[in-house]
Amino acid sequence: MNMTSACNYQCPYCFVGLENLKAARDELVLEDKLRVIREAKECGLRVVSMPGRGEPMADRNFWTVLEETERLGLWVVVYTNGCLLDSAQIKQLKDSPVSLFLKVDSFDPDIYEQMVGKQGVFERLRRNLDVLLEHFHEPKIDGDRIITRLGINSVVTAQTAESIPTIHRWCQNHGIYYTCRSPVKVGEAAITWDMLVQDQAERLRAIGQQYTARNFTSSTELGQCGIYLFGITVDNNGEVLVCPDAHSDFGRIGNVKKSSLRELIRRRNEKFPLNSASGYCFVKTHMNSEEKTERE
């Protein structure tokens, strides 16, 4: 479920484009969001993923929606920049069925703030990471696996490349799930591509492949895209997409304002049969020639 398009950051690789980072007039109202979640629960929903076209926690309905998902017995995964959190909220989230995936591109304040397009925010992010470690993060060992509710994702650019090993090592030391990848040439990155990549596309892609835990932030243990394989995306205007990256005309199914979610899920399964190929994102390959197709 994509929440608001509004965002407090201005990342130069934003996949929706900086000019689109504002609350849209046609965004679903709270009643519609709750109705869709209830319908999805009836269809077998177990997890609500909140990637956000903007910053999910900037949505004024965020906490009310979270309360409803908890009432329905659902788990929520929130993809956030972490800057809008405070200590009280972090402690509140600890007792909720929630996982957090924070975007952190560098521990260098100057590089971090360059990559989020906003000054004076690194200290708050760093402080929130410390609070998360103390009051939220409780990794559990299950055989050779670490089960965690906290993840970090980085975008590997010419500016952040040297920061990636440090973030990776920090996550390993604290039992935090880590993913990273080079930017995708859509949205704002299509405009800033030369600045972000600087003729280093292959090097940046190799760094991402070296340090990431899996191919996708939403990856299954087999390396498949969990959202595409098991889910469906409801955009913040009610449009149903095959996945969050299908933000153009490609991959749209219909709208929850006009059709039931059950009917839209049926259409989705007919139009886009489930893909079981490991490490393959058909949406990004369709939209970006530089993406590699890795079929098994």
The string of pLDDT tens digits covering residues 205-243 is: 999 999 998 877 887 777 777 787 788 899 989 999 887
Residue appearing with tokens 């869709």 = 36
Residue 296 scores a pLDDT above 70: no
What total number of domains does the chain contain?
Answer: 1
* 149, part of any domain: yes
* 294, part of any domain: no
b or e along 164-196 (b: 16 or more beta carbons within 10 Å of the residue's beta carbon)?
beebbeebeebbbbbbbbbbbbbbbbeebbeeb
* 10, part of any domain: no
Mean pLDDT of the 70-98 span? 95
CATH number at residue 203: 3.20.20.70
* 295, part of any domain: no
Q: In this predicted structure, what is the pLDDT of residue 293?
A: 41
Range of the domain at 279: 18-287
* 187, part of any domain: yes
Cβ-Cβ contacts under 8 Å for 196 (sequence gap 6 or more): 12, 13, 157, 158, 159, 183, 189
Confidence grade of residue 20 (pLDDT, cut at 50, 70, 90): confident
Determine which of 68-82, 124-138, 164-178, 244-258 has the lowest per-residue pLDDT on average: 244-258
pTM, to two decimals: 0.90
- Cα 34 to Cα 36: distance, rounded to the nearest angstrom: 5
* 127, part of any domain: yes
Which amino acid is residue 138, in one-letter code? Answer: E
- SS percent in the chain: helix, strand, coil, step 5: 40, 15, 45
Confidence grade of residue 252 (pLDDT, cut at 50, 70, 90): confident
* 238, part of any domain: yes
* 11, part of any domain: no
